[in-house]
Amino acid sequence: MKYHLGCGEKYLSGYINVDFPQKEHTTITVKADLYSDLLKLKYEPCTEIRSHHVFEHFNYVESIVLLIKWAQALKMDGILRIDIPDIEALFQETGKTIASNNLRKTFKLMRLIFGSHEADWAYHINGWSQGTLTYVMDSFGFNSIGCKA
Protein backbone atom coordinates (compact mmCIF):
# COMPACT_ATOMS: atom_id res chain seq x y z
CA MET A 1 0.00 0.00 0.00
CA LYS A 2 1.25 3.49 -0.90
CA TYR A 3 -0.25 6.91 -0.12
CA HIS A 4 -0.22 10.03 -2.30
CA LEU A 5 -1.23 12.87 0.02
CA GLY A 6 -2.45 16.17 -1.37
CA CYS A 7 -3.01 14.60 -4.76
CA GLY A 8 -5.16 17.38 -6.21
CA GLU A 9 -5.65 16.71 -9.92
CA LYS A 10 -2.58 14.45 -10.18
CA TYR A 11 -3.84 10.89 -9.78
CA LEU A 12 -1.04 8.36 -9.31
CA SER A 13 -1.79 4.79 -10.27
CA GLY A 14 -0.80 2.29 -7.59
CA TYR A 15 -1.33 4.77 -4.77
CA ILE A 16 -4.22 5.64 -2.49
CA ASN A 17 -4.70 9.23 -3.59
CA VAL A 18 -5.88 11.45 -0.72
CA ASP A 19 -7.05 15.06 -0.62
CA PHE A 20 -9.68 17.30 0.90
CA PRO A 21 -13.21 16.83 -0.49
CA GLN A 22 -14.03 18.68 -3.71
CA LYS A 23 -16.13 21.25 -1.81
CA GLU A 24 -12.89 22.45 -0.15
CA HIS A 25 -11.35 23.30 -3.54
CA THR A 26 -12.24 26.30 -5.64
CA THR A 27 -9.88 26.15 -8.62
CA ILE A 28 -9.26 22.46 -9.37
CA THR A 29 -11.19 19.24 -9.78
CA VAL A 30 -9.77 16.75 -7.30
CA LYS A 31 -9.18 13.15 -8.39
CA ALA A 32 -8.85 11.15 -5.16
CA ASP A 33 -9.61 7.69 -3.84
CA LEU A 34 -10.09 9.00 -0.33
CA TYR A 35 -11.17 12.41 0.93
CA SER A 36 -9.81 13.23 4.36
CA ASP A 37 -8.04 15.68 6.63
CA LEU A 38 -4.49 14.27 6.81
CA LEU A 39 -4.29 14.87 10.57
CA LYS A 40 -7.42 12.77 11.14
CA LEU A 41 -6.59 10.03 8.65
CA LYS A 42 -5.93 6.57 10.10
CA TYR A 43 -2.89 5.44 8.14
CA GLU A 44 -2.63 1.74 7.35
CA PRO A 45 0.77 0.01 7.21
CA CYS A 46 2.37 1.04 3.93
CA THR A 47 5.56 0.97 1.89
CA GLU A 48 5.49 4.60 0.74
CA ILE A 49 3.99 7.95 1.70
CA ARG A 50 4.26 10.79 -0.79
CA SER A 51 3.25 14.22 0.50
CA HIS A 52 2.87 16.68 -2.36
CA HIS A 53 2.99 20.34 -1.30
CA VAL A 54 0.89 19.89 1.82
CA PHE A 55 3.49 19.83 4.62
CA GLU A 56 3.85 23.62 4.58
CA HIS A 57 0.10 23.99 5.28
CA PHE A 58 0.54 22.66 8.83
CA ASN A 59 2.03 24.40 11.84
CA TYR A 60 5.14 22.93 13.40
CA VAL A 61 3.29 20.90 16.06
CA GLU A 62 0.94 19.45 13.43
CA SER A 63 3.95 18.69 11.21
CA ILE A 64 5.54 16.67 14.00
CA VAL A 65 2.24 14.84 14.59
CA LEU A 66 2.13 13.94 10.89
CA LEU A 67 5.73 12.72 10.95
CA ILE A 68 4.95 10.51 13.95
CA LYS A 69 1.87 9.07 12.21
CA TRP A 70 3.80 8.50 8.98
CA ALA A 71 6.79 6.91 10.76
CA GLN A 72 4.43 4.54 12.55
CA ALA A 73 2.61 3.61 9.32
CA LEU A 74 5.69 3.01 7.21
CA LYS A 75 6.96 -0.55 7.06
CA MET A 76 10.66 -1.28 7.50
CA ASP A 77 12.59 0.26 4.58
CA GLY A 78 9.49 2.30 3.66
CA ILE A 79 9.87 5.49 1.67
CA LEU A 80 8.69 8.92 2.79
CA ARG A 81 8.72 11.64 0.11
CA ILE A 82 7.88 15.18 1.15
CA ASP A 83 7.68 17.78 -1.63
CA ILE A 84 7.82 21.34 -0.30
CA PRO A 85 8.62 24.78 -1.63
CA ASP A 86 12.16 25.39 -0.30
CA ILE A 87 11.77 28.65 1.62
CA GLU A 88 15.48 29.51 1.58
CA ALA A 89 15.77 29.05 -2.18
CA LEU A 90 12.56 31.05 -2.66
CA PHE A 91 13.88 33.95 -0.56
CA GLN A 92 17.12 34.03 -2.57
CA GLU A 93 15.28 33.95 -5.89
CA THR A 94 12.74 36.54 -4.73
CA GLY A 95 15.53 38.95 -3.78
CA LYS A 96 17.05 38.66 -7.25
CA THR A 97 13.67 38.98 -8.93
CA ILE A 98 12.69 42.09 -6.96
CA ALA A 99 16.05 43.66 -7.84
CA SER A 100 15.38 43.01 -11.53
CA ASN A 101 11.90 44.57 -11.19
CA ASN A 102 10.21 41.49 -12.66
CA LEU A 103 6.81 41.93 -11.02
CA ARG A 104 5.15 38.95 -12.69
CA LYS A 105 7.82 36.53 -11.44
CA THR A 106 7.86 38.22 -8.01
CA PHE A 107 4.10 37.63 -7.74
CA LYS A 108 4.54 33.93 -8.60
CA LEU A 109 7.32 33.52 -6.06
CA MET A 110 5.24 35.20 -3.34
CA ARG A 111 2.47 32.68 -4.04
CA LEU A 112 4.95 29.85 -3.51
CA ILE A 113 6.04 31.44 -0.21
CA PHE A 114 2.62 32.29 1.22
CA GLY A 115 0.20 29.98 -0.60
CA SER A 116 -2.54 30.74 -3.09
CA HIS A 117 -5.21 31.79 -0.53
CA GLU A 118 -7.87 30.36 -2.83
CA ALA A 119 -9.50 28.40 0.02
CA ASP A 120 -9.43 28.24 3.82
CA TRP A 121 -6.61 25.69 3.75
CA ALA A 122 -4.55 27.35 0.98
CA TYR A 123 -2.14 29.26 3.24
CA HIS A 124 1.44 28.29 3.98
CA ILE A 125 1.69 28.31 7.75
CA ASN A 126 5.40 27.54 7.97
CA GLY A 127 8.43 27.43 5.77
CA TRP A 128 10.71 24.48 5.30
CA SER A 129 14.04 24.31 3.55
CA GLN A 130 16.21 21.42 2.49
CA GLY A 131 18.29 21.97 5.63
CA THR A 132 15.46 22.25 8.16
CA LEU A 133 13.52 19.32 6.72
CA THR A 134 16.67 17.17 6.65
CA TYR A 135 17.40 18.12 10.27
CA VAL A 136 13.93 17.10 11.44
CA MET A 137 13.89 13.92 9.35
CA ASP A 138 17.27 12.94 10.76
CA SER A 139 15.89 13.51 14.29
CA PHE A 140 13.15 10.99 13.49
CA GLY A 141 15.72 8.41 12.46
CA PHE A 142 15.05 8.53 8.73
CA ASN A 143 18.14 7.71 6.74
CA SER A 144 19.20 8.01 3.14
CA ILE A 145 17.74 11.49 3.06
CA GLY A 146 18.00 13.01 -0.38
CA CYS A 147 16.87 16.30 -1.82
CA LYS A 148 16.19 17.42 -5.37
CA ALA A 149 16.02 20.96 -6.63
pLDDT digit string, tens, across residues 22-51: 666 566 667 889 889 999 999 999 999 999
Q: Which of 59, 70, 66 is nearest to 126 (CA)?
A: 59
Q: What is the mean pLDDT of the chain?
A: 87
What pTM value is reported for the model?
Answer: 0.84
Share of the chain above pLDDT 90, in %: 40
Instruction: Specify the DSSP class assigned to residue 140.
Output: T
Q: At 66, phi and psi to the nearest 5?
A: -60, -45
Q: Which pLDDT belongs to residue 16?
A: 96
Query: pLDDT, tens digit, for every residue of 73-110?
Result: 999 999 999 988 888 888 899 889 988 989 999 999 98
Domain definitions of the chain by residue range: 2-85+124-139
- Mean pLDDT over 49-55 rounds to 92
Q: Which pLDDT belongs to residue 2?
A: 98
Least confident of 17-26, 48-57, 73-82, 124-133: 17-26
Residue 131 has pLDDT above 60, yes or no: yes
Class for the domain spanning 2-85+124-139: alpha beta
Q: Sorting pLDDT into bands at 50, 70 and 90, what band is 142?
A: confident
**Within 10 Å of residue 68's Cβ, how many Cβ atoms?**
11
